[in-house]
Amino acid sequence: MPLSEAVRVRRVGTPSPEPARERHVVGPVHLIWQAGAIRHVSIDGIEVLRGIGAVIRDDNWGTHTLCTEADEARPGRDAMEFTYRAGVSTARAGPGESPLALELHARLDDTALDVRLAMTARARFATCRSGLRVLLPLLGVVGSNVEVEHCNGLIETGCFPRHISPGQPFFDIRRLSFTPTPQRAIDVHFDGDVFEMEDQRNWSDASFKIYNRPLALPSPYRIEAGKTVTQRVRLQWRNAAGAAP
């Protein structure tokens, strides 16, 4: 193995080079776009979201490699538009034969980040989890107050865990509202499936992860051939007093 590949294996666990990172700015918002994933969303220089992206698991909780078909960032007058299309790579699928096709669209303006994902099964697809996952940073979040709206409309108030939580801190999430800085309040809306949260510090990752399909449901499950599954995550920000920024 060439030295450069050996170094990458030690650093990130794979010899494949890391996809290029693109930095984009709209108003007070900075983010990184990297091969269909949005990373390090910062407002006024403070990180409020660690990442949003699609993760496709196989029927044994392994992570499928995505084969990029389109990757585009388009600046506009007041917004950025992002498009990512990919197929799932499997040992049995040749070029153009991916059993699952993904299309992700994102739009960023100075008030919101809107991410939509469509997954279409070209053949019956077995998976333990497929969809959008959201990572929250620890700084400004750990121990802070949070409001959780559940899918039945009920509101729960609580706090993000200060100490590492071995169980899921929150279940059945439709909306999370929290204030990572004294100036900004954040609302994150989830659609398309039932989402819940786990504390990634259990696995030495400095984040809280919000993912679709509750762990209490049976796995693996199947997406039938011809079916399209859609999900949406919308991040909005406002000043802590409740007025628009």
**Tell me, what's the pLDDT at 84?**
98
- Kindly compute the dihedral angle of the four CA atoms of residues 199, 237, 82, 209, in this order, to the nearest 10 degrees: 0
| Of 14, 54, 15, nearest in space to 34 by CA | 54
Range 11-19 average pLDDT: 73
Cβ-based neighbour number of residue 99 at 10 Å: 21
Q: Give the integer Cα–Cα distance in Å for 141 and 146.
A: 9
Domain 24-239 has CATH 2.70.98.10: yes
Q: Give the integer Cα–Cα distance in Å for 87 and 93.
A: 10
Mean pLDDT taken over the chain: 92
Is the per-residue pLDDT at 91 higher than 80? no
Q: Give the integer Cα–Cα distance in Å for 79 and 1.
A: 44
Q: What is the pLDDT of residues 156-172, one digit of tens each?
A: 999 999 999 999 999 99
Range 60-78 average pLDDT: 92
Is the per-residue pLDDT at 244 higher than 60? no
**Tell me, what's the pLDDT at 218?**
95
Task: Give the list of residues 6+ apart from residue 170 with CB closer than 8 angstroms, or none.
Answer: 146, 148, 156, 158, 176, 196, 197
Range 106-126 average pLDDT: 96
**Tell me, what's the pLDDT at 243?**
43
Cβ-based neighbour number of residue 76 at 10 Å: 11
pTM here is 0.91
- pLDDT band for position 245 (cuts 50, 70, 90): very low
| Of 59, 60, 38, 58, nearest in space to 49 by CA | 38
Q: Where are the domains of the chain?
A: 24-239
Q: Using CA of residue 149, residue 191, residue 34, residue 204, what is the dihedral sign?
A: positive
Percent of the chain with pLDDT over 90: 80
